[in-house]
Amino acid sequence: MKRISIGILVSTVILMLAMPVSAVAEEYMIGLSLAITGPTSDAGNPYSKGVEDYFRYVNDMKLLGEDTINYNIRDDKYETAITKRNFEEFLDMGMVFYLNYSTGSTLALKRDFEEVKMPTLPASYHAGNIEESNYIFLPIASYSAQAIGLAEYLVANHDGKTPKVAMYVHPSAFGRGPVEDVQATVKAGLEMEIVEVVEHGKDLDVTGMLQRWKSKGVQYVISQTVQSPVATLLKGASRMNLVAGSFGEKGKITFMGAHYTGGNDLIALAGKAAENFYWTTSFITTSEESYGADAQIALAERYGRDDKTANSHNYAAGIIVAEVATEVIQRAKAKGKEVNKETLYQELLAMNGMNALYSGTAVGPVTYAKDDHQGVDTLQLYSVQDGEFRAVGKPFIPEYTDKIK
């Protein structure tokens, strides 16, 4: 009897040891608070869909094995108070990575990110976000870098005396941010003259301003705002026959803009007046053939998105932040680390050199380090040709961003 009991015990132990260890599937909570409705929701809506679709894809395709991403997307209507509340809710839910949206809320919550040591990727590329911050990482080149990139391009391709430039900016931190940096660039040696800096209102007619620019001999306009005021500007200039037919055409004005001024929404708003508008961003566009463009459209089709969303650069912007978050989780898992905000933060800091992330939706690699919180440093210039954004030259990195530091 005793022998039988020992036999059963031994068999049980052997069976237990032989049984495959079924790992408990983990769920990683990632929060996103953004404007799905309210001001700037035209950008926030496709952005949220980009994030959602990419995380759905990760879960559906089991890119993290049995583990899944529990993504929570909340609408904050572009109100900082609601963003703060959403952030607190996410923290209570055990968030390990945070995706934020506006400049105002990113600046307001900066101290909270520091206190709770939460790695954060905002949709705002304001350079001030990463000043005195360890945990905020810009997905792409800052607005300042974009404006400087445009300034460098116009100086390099201008034919004649010192080019005269006007800056047309949003009346907020988002718009004003790059102005000082462009002015510093001029002081540092970039040969151009900033004739005027205009903070636009909600005017539907800009004839007076354009007339003034014309009399002051303005040749280029660098815009840092959203699409609708730029569309108003372009339509006004087109009506006055002021839009340059080619880059730097004499006697006319060449209009240029940073990330949030362009995209298909601008073409939809401005129509033919958008022709020859020069735009810079770190994202690819679906009007240019590329692997990333195909992947972006395929992802949108997979989850039943309309054409407008599928071709939006804001959809691409949403994809890339979700991609970065997924990548750091994958890397932490591959190293056998526990996935938490600290390990994800460490993985972000290690995302450089051979470990850079190559995303199909961006024109350059995503790199971060302790002293580099700007993801894609590379920019691509586009111009509207026959109603579509077409690449102008090769991707580039602005030189003066380092010189003025």
Partner 1 sequence: MSANRWLATGNYFTTYQDEQRIFFTHIDRLLFVAFLASLFAWPLFIDVSNKYMLIFDNILVAVIAVLGLNLVTGFGGLISVGHAAFVGVGAYTVACLAQMIGDQHVIITHFWPVMIIVGGFIGAIFGLIVGLPALRLRHLYLLMATLSFQMIFQWVIGFMDFFNQGQFIYVGRVHWFTGEVGRSNHYEFWYYALLVTAVILSFGVRNLLRTRYGRSLVAVRDNDRAADAMGMHPGFTKVAAFGIAGFFAGIAGAMQAYLNRGAGFETFTLHESIQYLAMTIVGGLGSLPGTFFGPAAIKMLDLQMENLAEWAGHILPSSLDLATGLRPLSFGLVIVLFLMFEPRGIANWWRIVRSYVKLWPFRY
The binding site for partner 1 (CB under 8 A) comprises 36-38, 41-42, 45-46, 49, 74-75, 77, 79-82, 84-86, 88-89, 91-92, 104, 107-108, 110-112, 115-116, 128, 171-173, 176, 306, 308-309
Nearer to partner 1, 149 or 229 (CB): 229
Record the tokens describing residue 272, joined without a space.
């033919």
Closer residue to partner 1 in complex, CB, 75/181 = 75
Look at the chain and count its residues: 405
CA atoms within 13 A on the CB side of 105: 27
**Would you say 128 or 236 has its CB closer to partner 1?**
128
- Nearby residues of 210 by Cβ (< 8 Å), 6 or more positions away: 233, 236, 237, 240, 242, 253
Amino acid (1-letter code) at residue 19: M
Cβ proximity to partner 1, 144 vs 276, nearer residue: 144
Q: For 72-112, give the DSSP string.
A: EEEE-TT-HHHHHHHHHHHHHTTEEEEE---HHHHHHTHHH
Query: For partner 1, which is the closer residue by CB, 44 or 262?
Result: 44
Question: Smallest distance from the beta carbon of 35 to partner 1, in angstroms?
Answer: 9
Query: What is d(CA 323, CA 242) in angstroms, rounded to the nearest whole number?
Result: 42
CB of 243 to partner 1, least distance (A): 27
DSSP secondary structure string, 191-252? --EEEEEEE--S-S--HHHHHHHHHTT--EEEEES-HHHHHHHHHHHHHTT-B-SSTT-TTS
CB of 29 to partner 1, least distance (A): 14
Residue 103 to residue 262: CA distance in whole angstroms: 18
CB 153 to partner 1: min, Å: 28
Please identify, using beta-carbon distances, which residue of 110 and 331 lies nearer to partner 1.
110
CB of 257 to partner 1, least distance (A): 21
Q: How far is the CB of 129 from partner 1 (least distance, A)?
A: 11
Q: Least separation, in Å, of the C-beta of 80 and partner 1? A: 6
| Minimum CB distance to partner 1 smaller for 108 or for 240 | 108
Residue number with CB closer to partner 1 (143 or 247): 143
Three-class DSSP category at 361: coil
CA–CA dist 397, 375 (Å, integer): 12
Reading the block at residue 133, the tokens are 């911050």
Radius of gyration of the chain (CA): 24
Closest contact distance (angstroms) between CB of 107 and partner 1 is 5
Nearer residue to partner 1 within complex by CB, 301 or 399: 301
Nearest-approach distance from CB 76 to partner 1, in angstroms: 9
Q: Residue 303 CA to chain centroid, in angstroms?
A: 22
**Count of CB atoms within 10 A of residue 92's CB?**
8
Is residue 147 within 8 A of residue 197, CB to CB? The reply is no
